[in-house]
């Protein structure tokens, strides 16, 4: 697991970025979550979002890296921590009122499967909030296409994903996209659509 290798120095490496802009973006992202609800974080890392969680009926943070979770555990005694991948969430259907992820979908091998899992475990009309670095518009996008070749090979990070489009294609309702840092980062507000009901077969 590549993120196990980064766990020890992760907070220190990101500290300057957290101070300058990441913390405020995290706060803004989590402000879209409902109060007193059941919420799930995908890819909690070392727990950088914990201090911005709203008052919740139940809060669960999932993370695939066991070493990242070890550092996250030091930052909370009220959030349930679960080791799992975003593509295989061990929760029943309609378990949560809302879910969110920050800087996570760039590193998920199969984002379509992760979105399908979110649709399954979040209740109909529940919010799914994402803060993600994405492929920016214009010429800068082509620069990111080149960088992507290196980041995928070295750290399994996809620099040129168009996450809002992926979310919409997966079946989520994209309500708002807030562009940040010249379009390099998007705050994406989604809503889970009503689940289709199975047809009723009437025996005559």
This prediction has a pTM of 0.91
| Residues 188, 189, 195, 196, CA torsion sign | negative
Tell me the C-alpha distance between 157 and 137, whole Å.
Answer: 19
CB 101 within 8 A of CB 131: yes
- Please say if the pLDDT value at position 109 is more than 70: yes
* Beta bridge partner(s), residue 133: 185
Q: Which residue segments constitute the domains of the chain, with CATH numbers given?
A: 2-191 (3.40.50.150)
- The per-residue pLDDT for 204 is 47
Mean pLDDT of the chain: 93
């Amino acid at each position: 697991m590549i993120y196990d290798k980064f766990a020890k120095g992760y907070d220190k490496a990101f500290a300057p970025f957290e101070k300058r802009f990441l913390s405020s973006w995290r706060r803004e992202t989590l402000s879209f979550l409902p109060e007193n609800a059941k919420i799930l974080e995908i890819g909690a890392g070392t727990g950088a979002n914990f201090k911005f969680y709203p008052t919740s009926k139940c809060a669960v943070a999932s993370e695939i890296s066991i070493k990242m979770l070890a550092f996250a555990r030091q930052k909370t005694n009220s959030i349930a921590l679960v080791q799992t991948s975003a593509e295989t969430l061990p929760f029943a259907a309609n378990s949560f009122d809302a879910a969110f992820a920050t800087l996570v979908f760039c590193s998920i091998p199969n984002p379509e499967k992760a979105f399908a899992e979110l649709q399954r475990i979040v209740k109909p009309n529940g919010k799914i909030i994402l803060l993600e670095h994405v492929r920016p518009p214009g010429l800068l996008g082509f620069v990111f296409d080149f960088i992507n070749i290196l980041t995928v090979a070295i750290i399994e990070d996809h620099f040129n994903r168009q996450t809002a489009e992926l979310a919409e294609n997966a079946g989520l309702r994209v309500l708002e996209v807030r562009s940040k840092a010249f379009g390099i980062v998007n705050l994406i507000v989604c809503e889970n659509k009503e689940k289709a009901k199975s047809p009723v077969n009437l025996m005559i």
